[in-house]
């Protein structure tokens, strides 16, 4: 165990006043960085280092895009900020996870600033001014690229820059095999994967007239699990995957049972995450204490035609008709019993995720192009999809559109305190647009098609609880809701304005823009701009503390929104989707942030690595701020967590990854009521439910 670990552990020693020895963490950083320096390969100068790394095939050749003088200027600029790691966790996470090492792993080849330079040079694509902006954002930590981008950008032998991929599987063997291979390819390049299985026929359905031949959804989910486990980035990282199924599907109970502790091994999904697609009708049935009928999809198509697909229909309009038709194969369970079953399984496993389908499609700006039908591994991605028709060998496939996630996050504390909220949002949008345009995913044809057409990105935010604590605001209070409301409104405004500017500069808009709610149809402005009063009222801070926090930040007025609405109609928008709030993990450590919008779990986090432990004090922790980090996640009412996410969701065109924290003794009916509360508050999803007895393996690709 290194002496820096021992010094870090001294944090937990309390003085005579009972205070933690937080200064010991600074001493641990110093010792660790001395160790890093002793194990770092030395060069005569920066150009010599870069030339060596290019010649040895570590870095791409940046001198094809920049002169030596430009590279040196950008490097000097990176060091001019005087960056210092704020915790031992931040320093160790950066050097253990992100900093480039020699192939034998014995020496480091870059420090923090040098890493930010190569990432920025690559993302800027030869644009010197942009490279300066990216270096500033990454080094001042106002914006942070997601792990796949931050790890791979600028490296010669790199993985992909995108985070995860979503696919819809059709009810044919051709489609099953096609999507299965796509899952493997996506997992191979470090992507998290999610697959919608709702179109598959249920267990016991006929195949070509042979009754009882269909094996249902679960065996296909097992195939997905196998592909994700097999394609593990050459052993570098375990694959991560999820399967989604509509709650009205015939096999849904078997699907849920795959996560029970006592499930038979052949009926258990041990490593694959599962998610439920839940239309609002289900909650109506539960409120009225009615039965939930689950329908076999093939029997619906046989009765009503091939175009009547369970995954596509408005279940509210079709439900009674399907219930009354004896030719439609179905089974039933009391809806409240189903809610309790979901809660029980969540308490055992953390799963299923819950995707609120109707909420996801309400105010969806691209409804004119298609419907949102599923989400991703971390439940913050919500985009329309088109299923592919995969033909036989001698016929032409009709490729639909699947989904790619290109992610980054804003640091709320840094962007506000540096008075760079607008700059950070615009910079983040520029960097993400480069990622969308430079992903090498031709081997994923349906994803490549969607990425080319829609150029979707997901800019998020982290450090919310840290911002609250630093400003002596209680998590979930009126002030905290005011804070997140204004910040996310700024994200919405400036990200849309920047995407419009990119469209104007490049004379290029996303495919289908004319059918979107951004375009003026029968009103003065596009329908998008009337939601939340964007063009009809001024959105301003209402509490004194939040007014003070944003005193130096320009808050767009309704007149600004009106101007933007007209510009958007005239010039278009480059990115079909702009915002999504992903969970943040290792990136949060490096940037000294609390994760996303989530409350902290402990004021001092304990991490175990092998035989040693390290301690991570929450950002800005002091004798004063510790009271605003308390109560922590397991003691804060989950209603507060849902309320924070709901306020943010008003401005986020995709989703907000939201975790519930419960004690293991919670009654299932109370947990079930939280599902209904989240639905009623307008959330598009709930990520997993975490209790103190569970250890959930989160996806490091999707978690920024």
Closest by Cα among 564, 602, 624 to 690: 602
Report the run of H or E that residue 447 belongs to, with start and end.
helix 445-454
Please return the burial class of 546, using the count of CB atoms within 10 Å of its CB with bins 0-12, 13-18 and 19+.
buried
| Catalytic positions | 376, 378, 380
Specify whether the CB–CB gap between 154 and 121 falls below 8 A.
yes
Structure tokens that stand for 592 in this block: 């000294």
Q: Which residues pair with 143 in a beta bridge?
A: 410
In angstroms, the CA 10 to CA 376 distance is 40
In angstroms, the CA 228 to CA 225 distance is 5
Per the listing, tokens 């040079």 go with: 121
Specify whether the CB–CB gap between 156 and 374 falls below 8 A.
no
The pairing of beta strand 604-609 with beta strand 612-617: antiparallel
In angstroms, the CA 146 to CA 114 distance is 18
In angstroms, the CA 518 to CA 526 distance is 5
In angstroms, the CA 245 to CA 221 distance is 10
Specify whether the CB–CB gap between 283 and 257 falls below 8 A.
no
Structure tokens that stand for 57 in this block: 């095939």
Task: Report the largest interatomic distance among the alpha carbons of the chain, rounded to a whole angstrom.
Answer: 81
- The total of other beta-carbon atoms located within 10 Å of residue 635's CB is 10
Rg (CA), the chain: 25
Specify whether the CB–CB gap between 285 and 335 falls below 8 A.
yes
Report the run of H or E that residue 689 belongs to, with start and end.
strand 689-691
Peptide bond into 631 cis (omega under 30): yes
Please state the length of the chain: 704
In angstroms, the CA 661 to CA 472 distance is 23
Terminal Cα distance for the chain, rounded: 29
CB-hemisphere CA count at 13 Å for 224?
32
Q: How far is CA 337 from the centre of its chain?
A: 31
- The total of other beta-carbon atoms located within 10 Å of residue 475's CB is 27
Write the DSSP string, 294-326.
EE-HHHHHHHH-TT--TTTS-HHHHHHHHHH-T
In angstroms, the CA 500 to CA 529 distance is 14
Specify whether the CB–CB gap between 525 and 569 falls below 8 A.
yes
H-type alpha helices, 154-232: 173-188, 217-230
CB-hemisphere CA count at 13 Å for 426?
13
């Amino acid at each position: 165990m290194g002496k820096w670990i021992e010094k870090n552990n001294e944090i937990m020693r309390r003085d005579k006043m009972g205070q933690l020895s937080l200064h010991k963490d600074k001493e641990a950083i110093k010792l660790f960085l001395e160790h890093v320096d002793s194990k770092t390969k030395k060069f005569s100068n920066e150009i010599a280092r870069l030339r060596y790394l290019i010649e040895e095939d570590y870095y791409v050749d940046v001198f094809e895009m920049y002169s030596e003088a430009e590279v040196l200027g950008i490097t000097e600029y990176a060091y001019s900020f005087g960056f210092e790691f704020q915790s031992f966790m931040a320093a160790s996470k950066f050097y253990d996870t992100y900093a480039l090492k020699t192939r034998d792993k014995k020496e480091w080849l870059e420090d923090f600033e040098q890493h930010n330079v190569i990432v920025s040079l690559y993302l800027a694509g030869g644009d010197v001014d942009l490279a300066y902006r990216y270096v500033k954002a990454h080094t001042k930590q106002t914006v942070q690229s997601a792990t796949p981008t931050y790890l791979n950008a600028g490296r010669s032998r790199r993985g992909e820059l995108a985070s995860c991929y979503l696919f819809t599987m059709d009810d044919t063997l051709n489609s099953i095999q096609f999507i299965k291979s796509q899952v493997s390819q996506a997992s191979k390049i470090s992507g998290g994967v999610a697959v919608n299985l709702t179109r598959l026929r249920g267990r016991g359905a006929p195949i070509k007239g042979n009754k009882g031949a269909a094996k249902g959804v679960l065996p296909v989910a097992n195939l997905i699990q196998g592909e994700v486990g097999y394609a593990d980035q050459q052993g570098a990282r375990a694959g991560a995957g999820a399967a989604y199924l509509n709650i009205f599907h015939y096999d849904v109970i078997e699907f849920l049972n795959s996560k029970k502790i006592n499930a038979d091994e052949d009926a258990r999904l041990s490593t694959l995450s599962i998610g439920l697609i839940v239309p609002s009708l289900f909650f109506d049935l539960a409120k009225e204490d009615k039965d939930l009928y689950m329908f076999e999809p093939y029997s619906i198509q046989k009765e009503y035609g091939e175009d009547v697909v369970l995954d596509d229909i408005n279940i509210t309009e079709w439900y009674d008709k399907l219930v009354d038709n004896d030719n439609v194969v179905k089974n039933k369970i009391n809806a409240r019993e189903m809610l309790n079953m979901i809660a029980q399984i969540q308490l055992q496993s953390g799963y299923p995720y819950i995707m609120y389908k109707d909420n996801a499609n309400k105010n969806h700006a691209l409804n004119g192009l298609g419907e949102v039908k599923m989400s991703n591994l971390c439940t913050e991605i919500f985009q329309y999809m088109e299923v592919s028709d995969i033909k036989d060998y001698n016929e032409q496939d009709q490729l639909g559109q699947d989904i790619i996630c290109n992610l980054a996050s804003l640091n709320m504390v840094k962007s506000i305190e540096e008075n760079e909220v607008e700059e950070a949002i615009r910079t983040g949008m520029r960097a993400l647009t480069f990622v969308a345009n430079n992903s090498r995913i031709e081997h994923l044809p349906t994803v490549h098609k969607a990425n080319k057409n829609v150029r979707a990105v997901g800019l998020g935010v982290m450090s919310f609880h840290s911002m609250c604590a630093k400003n002596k605001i209680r998590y979930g209070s009126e002030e905290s809701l005011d804070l997140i409301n204004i910040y996310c409104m700024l994200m919405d405004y400036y990200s849309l304005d920047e995407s419009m500017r990119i469209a104007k500069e490049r004379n290029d808009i996303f495919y289908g823009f004319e059918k979107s709610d951004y375009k003026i149809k029968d009103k003065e402005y596009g329908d998008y701009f009337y939601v939340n009063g964007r063009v009809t009222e001024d959105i301003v801070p209402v509490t004194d503390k939040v007014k003070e926090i944003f005193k130096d930040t320009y808050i767009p007025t309704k007149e600004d929104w009106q101007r933007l609405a007209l510009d958007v109609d005239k010039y278009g928008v480059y990115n079909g989707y702009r915002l999504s709030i992903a969970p943040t993990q290792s990136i949060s450590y490096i940037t000294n942030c609390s994760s996303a919008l989530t409350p902290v779990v402990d004021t001092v986090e304990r991490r175990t690595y092998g035989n040693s432990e390290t301690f991570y004090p929450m950002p800005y922790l002091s004798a004063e701020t510790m009271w605003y980090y308390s109560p922590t996640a397991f003691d804060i009412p989950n209603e507060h967590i849902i309320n924070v996410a709901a306020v943010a969701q008003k401005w986020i065109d995709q989703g907000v990854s939201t975790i519930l924290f419960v004690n293991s003794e919670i009654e299932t009916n109370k947990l079930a009521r939280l599902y209904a509360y989240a639905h009623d508050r307008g959330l598009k999803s709930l990520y997993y439910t975490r209790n103190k007895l569970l250890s959930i393996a989160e996806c490091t690709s999707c978690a920024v």
